[in-house]
Amino acid sequence: MPNPSHLIIAPILIPLLAGGLLLFFEDRERRLKDAVSILTALALIVVAFVLLKRTYPAAGAEDGRIFVYLLGNWPAPIAINLVLDRLSAIMLVLTAVLGLAALIFSIARWQRAGAHYHSLFLFLLMGLNGAFLTGDLFNLFVFFEVLLAASYGLVLHGSGPARVKAGMHYIVINLAASLLFLIGVAMIYSAAGTLNMAHLAVVFGELDGDGRAIAEAGAGILGIAFLVKAGIWPLNFWLPTAYSAAAAPVAAVFSIMTKVGIYILMRLSLLFFGSEAGSSSGFGSEALFLAGMATILFGMVGVLASQAMGRLAGYSVLVSSGTVLAAIGFSQAGVTAGALFYLLSSTLALAALFMLIELIERGQDPAANVLAVTMEAYGEGEEEEDPATEEIGVAIPETLAVLGVSFAICGILLAGLPPLPGFLAKFAMLTSMFNPAGLGDGAIRHSSWWLASFLILSGFATLIAMTRAGIRSFWARIDGEVPRVLLVEVAPIALLLTAVVVMTVAAGPTYRLLEATASDLHAPQAYIEAVMQALQAVPNKGEIAP
């Protein structure tokens, strides 16, 4: 199979060129913009799956292939490089699937609610793909700013006082995080003299004294910036409000933006500090584990306390992020593999849930829902009905039936119930924690009991909250009308839930891929060697050093 050559940069160039092209057309040319955006998203899916396939091991080999693309063919050490491995390819696939689903959902109404929606959305996809592919800290900052700049416009898309207020909080918090990002990058460069991530992994092991202290301080500041984006407690107060106030397709694609911070933490902590002396634990893993547990607890309380379904979904994002962050802090390859499985399934479920909530709430009066909750709490408002006039066997409208089934699937996924991937992911994490040697041997760490307890409790809390919300929305008597739902709005939700079902059916191959990806993360020497050899060799233009 030939090397992917320039295909590595395609996930960045395709949305960049398409988004720039759409700026030259007026917003009233909606059909053209819809068509270009959908075709772009389809192209990204094809490219992402091709790149993922290329990272599979060659015949007779066990290790996955890593490709390095030198932009402009500049020599070392100033070469700007993109790096494709199994983890980045998986994240590209996830981004492309979410992007296609959200864009299809937008066709019905949301793309008409503001200017340049499609361009902003495509620039956001470009920033996400660039962040997953880049092998350089400064260019990571550039792509980070690109996706944030696009998200600023998208979070305000559709106007409204609540959206503007939440959007302004979102913008201020992320600007502060960007400042921390830049400070951390500057400190690391002052100590190490390079920003190439693989080169930094080599240099960090050679630093000592003041240089080491500055580099670690810079890494700590950098970590805080990423943790803000990942939604870790106590830096996540802004997230539930911002995500619940955003337009449904925007909130759906935002569900992967918290995973950008998690991806970078996972990548850099193990790359910079996990490769030292064969260590498999990243920088500050104990603090990350404790903060992840606190995030799960905070998310659980928020999920149980939420009356509005939008805030329920927002706090579910925090539970998802906290679970993955705590698993990363656990610093064990098997747990990381289960966490990656959970990351994929929970992200797809959350994206589907955000779009689903918008459809469910169309036929409901928010004020009436709050009043119903209050009357439930005080046991008021229950009236005895005349059996003669009581309706028996009232048929559920088809629209509500479809929405109800989809909502139930999302609830099963987020609660981690069998047989869907949420359960399989948690089971994989629990198996690795309590059977680390794989043969019934090995000491069980005290932290295993804490993490296992929080995984079970968070699933139980989510099950209670989702069941309560589902009963109020579908089984209780509703005074509102049945929402008018278009096929183009149901299709993307079905796409995401179908992807989850495919993951369930192909759980064996999927988990083996994620297990190999986790092993690569905890043993990053192959990544470092691939990049360093490419920088030293400086191949001819168009070539790729594997």
The residue-averaged pLDDT of 355-371 equals 67
Question: Is 452 among the domain residues?
Answer: yes
Cβ of 18: how many Cβ atoms within 10 Å? 23
Tell me whether residue 496 is in a domain: yes
Within a domain: 135: no
Sequence-distant (6+) residues with CB within 8 A of 398 are none
Query: Does pLDDT of 542 surpass 70?
Result: no
Alpha helices in 331-420 (DSSP H): 333-360, 366-378, 398-415
DSSP 8-state secondary structure symbol assigned to residue 70: E
Number of domains in the chain: 1
The token pair at 253 is: 């694609």
| pLDDT class of 92 with cuts at 50, 70, 90 | very high
Q: Residue written as tokens 């009233």?
A: 28
Q: In this structure, is residue 25 part of a structural domain?
A: no
For 439-469, give one letter per residue: b (16+ CB within 10 A) or e.
eeeeeeeebbebbbebbeebbebbbebbebb
Q: Residue 84 — φ and ψ, nearest 5°? A: -110, 115
**CA distance linking residue 33 with residue 508, whole number of Å:** 39
- The answer to whether residue 213 is domain-embedded is no
User: Which 8-state DSSP code applies to residue 134?
Assistant: B
Note the pLDDT of residue 481: 63
Which pLDDT does position 529 carry in this prediction? Answer: 85
Both tokens assigned to 130? 């660039």
What is the pLDDT averaged over residues 208-214?
Answer: 83
φ and ψ of 134, to 5 deg: -65, 145
What is the rounded distance in angstroms from the CA atom of residue 261 to the CA atom of residue 241?
A: 19
Taking the alpha carbons at both ends of the chain, their separation in whole angstroms is 13
By C-alpha distance, which of 234, 237, 121 is closest to 169? 237
**Is 534 a residue whose pLDDT tops 60?**
yes
Which of 502, 130, 233, 519 lies closest to 345 in space, CA to CA?
502
C-beta neighbour count of 527 within 10 angstroms: 24
pLDDT band at 331 (very low <50, low <70, confident <90, very high): confident
Contact residues for 401 (Cβ-Cβ < 8 A; gap 6+)? none
**Is residue 484 domain-resident?**
yes
Range in 179-188, 246-255, 412-421, 483-492 with the lowest mean pLDDT: 483-492
Question: Can you give the residue range of the structural domain that contains 486?
Answer: 284-372+397-505
Task: State yes or no: pLDDT of 154 exceeds 90.
Answer: no
Tell me how far CA of residue 452 lies from CA of 253, 323, 419, 429, in angstroms.
29, 10, 19, 8
pLDDT above 90: percentage of residues in the chain: 26
Highest mean pLDDT pick, 44-48, 190-194, 247-251, 374-378: 44-48
Percent residues over pLDDT 70 in the chain: 83
Higher pLDDT, 94 or 393: 94
Asked whether residue 263 is domain-assigned, the answer is: no
Span 134-153, pLDDT tens digits: 988 889 999 999 999 999 88
More confident residue, 57 or 510: 510
Minimum mean pLDDT range among 68-72, 200-204, 261-265, 372-376: 372-376
Q: How confident is the model at residue 193 (pLDDT cuts 50, 70, 90)?
A: confident
Q: Mean pLDDT over all residues of the chain?
A: 82
What is the widest separation between alpha-carbon atoms in the chain?
86
Supply the pLDDT for residue 274. Answer: 62
379-391 tens-digit pLDDT = 444 444 444 444 4
pLDDT at position 287 over 60: yes
Q: Which residues contact 169 (CB under 8 A, 6 or more apart)?
A: 238, 241, 242
CA dist 419 and 37 (Å) reads: 35
Q: At 69, which helix (H) or strand (E)?
A: strand 67-71
Identify whether the C-beta of residue 373 lies closer than 8 Å to the C-beta of residue 307. yes
Instruction: Look at residue 371 and tell me whether its pLDDT is greater than 60.
Output: no
Q: Residue 2: which pLDDT band, with cuts at 50, 70 and 90?
A: very low
> Is residue 395 predicted with pLDDT exceeding 50?
no
Is the Cβ–Cβ distance between 474 and 396 less than 8 Å?
yes
In a domain, 450, yes or no: yes
Nearest to 417 by CA among 448, 471, 455: 455
Of residues 528 and 63, the one with the higher pLDDT is 528
Helix axis angle, 507-522 to 257-272, nearest 10°: 50
Q: Each residue of 464-510: pLDDT tens digit?
A: 999 988 888 777 644 556 667 778 888 899 999 999 999 999 988 99
Q: Which residue has the tokens 């993490």?
A: 451
Six-digit token string for 352: 């589907």
C-beta atoms surrounding 138 within 10 Å: 14
Which of 228-232, 269-273, 381-385, 456-460 ranks highest by mean pLDDT?
456-460
- Tell whether the model's pLDDT for residue 266 goes beyond 90: no
The pTM for the full model equals 0.86
From the CA atom positions of the chain, what is the Rg in Å? 24
Query: In whole angstroms, what is the distance from residue 230 CA to residue 300 CA?
Result: 17
Name the residue type at position 204: F
